Amino acid sequence: MRSPCESGYHWICRGVTRACEFVHCRLLSVGTIVLVIGSAMYLIEIEGYIDGSGFTSIPQGVYWAIVTMTTVGYGDIAPQTTLGKTLASFVMILGYGIIAAPTGIVTAELTSRRGGGVSTQACPGCGTTDHAINARFCKHCGEMMHNHHSA
């Protein structure tokens, strides 16, 4: 039995391979950010300690940072100080950027590896360009494309 990389899905394997370097770098960055933010939140909240805030150790702070940054937000630990709430707001916004950016980059890499592409051939009926390379008909008016490539 052939592996997916040896069959027609080789573009997925190439795209994932190229995206791995970015993902590994991103995971190292996120791990560092979570460690720093979790430690900072522990120090902020322990200074103005209020019973029940939940920040009893640095690992608890790191746990909170992971839950907050990934937008899960269990709510079992919450900052009580003004500075802690300010840091929490920053972490929430940062979480959206850290999750959304890699998703778009990996998707773009997979799409570019899939093949296909865009043709600059103009439609003889309406003059529209930017059709798929293997387009047989115009995507706007339905006119048959001349010199189309077979799929």
pTM, two decimals, is 0.59
Average pLDDT for 72-89: 91
The residue with tokens 């997979």 is: 110
Kindly indicate the confidence band of residue 151, based on its pLDDT and cuts at 50, 70 and 90.
Answer: very low
Question: Does the pLDDT at position 130 exceed 80?
Answer: no
Owner of token pair 């907050």: 68
- For residues 70 and 46, membership in a common domain is answered with yes
Q: Residue 72: pLDDT above 80?
A: yes
Count structural domains, the chain: 2
| DSSP-derived secondary structure letter, 2 | -
User: How many C-beta atoms surround the C-beta of residue 55 within 10 A?
Assistant: 24
Q: What is the DSSP string of 8-72?
A: TTHHHHHHHHHHHHHHHHHHHHHHHHHHHHHHHHHHHHHHT--TT----SHHHHHHHHHHHHTT-
Q: Does one domain contain both 57 and 128? A: no
Pair (33, 97) in one structural domain: yes
The parent domain of residue 71 ranges over 10-115
Residue 59 predicted with pLDDT over 60: yes
Q: Are residues 134 and 151 in the same domain?
A: yes
Mean pLDDT of 63-74: 90
pLDDT at 109 over 70: no
pLDDT, residue 52, reads 66
What is the model's pLDDT at position 60? 93
Q: Are residues 54 and 109 in the same domain?
A: yes
Instruction: Specify if 4 maps to a domain.
Output: no
Average pLDDT, whole number, for the chain? 79
Residue 144 has φ and ψ, to the nearest 5°, of -70, 135
Kindly state the percentage of the chain with pLDDT values over 70: 71
Domain co-membership, 63 together with 92: yes
